[in-house]
Each structure stands twice: as structure tokens, then as C-alpha cells.
Amino acid sequence: MYHFVGNQYMVSPAFGALNPLYKKIAFAFAIPTILYLGALYSNVSAKYIFHRVFRAPGRSHHRTSNTATGWAAWAGIVGATWVAAFVLAEVIPFFSDLLRLMGSLFDCWFGFIFWGMAYLTLYPGALKWAGPARTLETLFNYFLILLGLYILVAGTYISVQSIIDSYAANKVGTAFSCASNGI
């Protein structure tokens, strides 16, 4: 996108700089993905909180049974995570840079490093070098781990530098501003 559109014309999200037909096609794929990932992250966060709340021995039956208290707590926690996400999106004036920072910090772990480590845990010791196919798999998983570490370090550095540059160029707005952020 940066090559074809030019850095001075880029908007966030990047496909917002496309011509109207391609923008509609891109949004047709992006919106379901965004909603799905929002629901997934909200569900993971809510499940963690839910299990922490109902961890106590006397309250654990709400965790495993369909009780009204359990369902009310679940709905409240999920609603609270969505409200918290909305507030964070509106309060933080450099949200797109923050998304880049979170992606470099967390997505490299879940997308690359975790799977490489899972493979190495699944095939410990000499099992990971048993035969040419397994050796190639092992080398590929080591590559995944190194790629994830590269994204972690380089992506975090670039994201932090982008936040610093945005503040230096006075491009950062204010929280809950009414400025147009349309694409």
C-alpha cells in the first residue's frame, strides 16, 4: 500500500486509500474479520476474568452449571470488555499506532513463537531430527521462532518510534475529539 499510494496519502486502515470500488471490496473482507477477532479477544478476556471470579471453592458451581448468576456474570463481563475496548479506542489519540505496538508485542508470540515452541515441545530431544521430513519441520519451526522474535524486536521499535514521531509532528489528536476520522 505504501509503495502504490505513497506515504503522504496513507490513512488508517491502509486500504482506506484505495479507489471506492476496491475500498468496498476490501471492507467486505475486513469488517467480518474485525468483528470476529473482536469477539474472539473479548471472549478470551471474559473467560479469563470469569474463571478468576468464580475460582473460589464455594462459587465454582457457577462456572460449570447454567446458573442465573453465572450467565449474568458472563453477560456483564463480556459487556464490560466491549465497553472498555470502545473507551480505549476513543481515549487513546494514537490508537492506530497503539494497535501496531500491540500487534508487534503480542501477535508475533501467538502467531509465530507459540507454534514453533509447541512443535519443539511435541517432539523433544532426538525425535525432532528423526528423518529428513522431521528435520525440515524442525528447521521450519526454528525459523518461525526467529521470525517471531524479529517481528517482536523490530516491530516494537518501529511502533514506539512512530508514536514518538507522531507526537513530535503534532499529529496526535485529543481524546473523544469530534474530528472526522472517516476514510
* Interval 66-72 mean pLDDT: 91
- Report the pLDDT value the prediction gives residue 94, as an integer from 0 to 100: 78
Residues 85-103 have pLDDT tens digits of: 888 877 877 777 888 888 8
In the chain, what are the domain boundaries? 1-91, 93-182
| 3-class DSSP string for the chain | CHHHHCHHHCCCCHHHHCCHHHHHHHHHHHHHHHHHHHHHHHHHHHHHHHHHHCCCHHHCHHHHCCCHHHHHHHHHHHHHHHHHHHHHHHHCCCHHHHHHHHHHHHHHHHHHHHHHHHHHHHCCHHHHHCCHHHHHHHHHHHHHHHHHHHHHHHHHHHHHHHHHHHHHCCCCCCCCCCCCCCC
Q: Is the entire prediction scored with pTM above 0.85?
A: no
- Report the pLDDT value the prediction gives residue 49, as an integer from 0 to 100: 94
Residues 122-162 have pLDDT tens digits of: 998 888 899 999 999 999 999 999 999 999 999 999 999 98
- Report the pLDDT value the prediction gives residue 9, as an integer from 0 to 100: 62
**pLDDT over threshold 80, residue 121:** yes
* Interval 61-80 mean pLDDT: 91
Average pLDDT, the chain: 85
Mean pLDDT check: name the lowest of 8-17, 71-80, 116-125, 165-174. Answer: 8-17
Selected residue with higher pLDDT from 1 and 98: 98
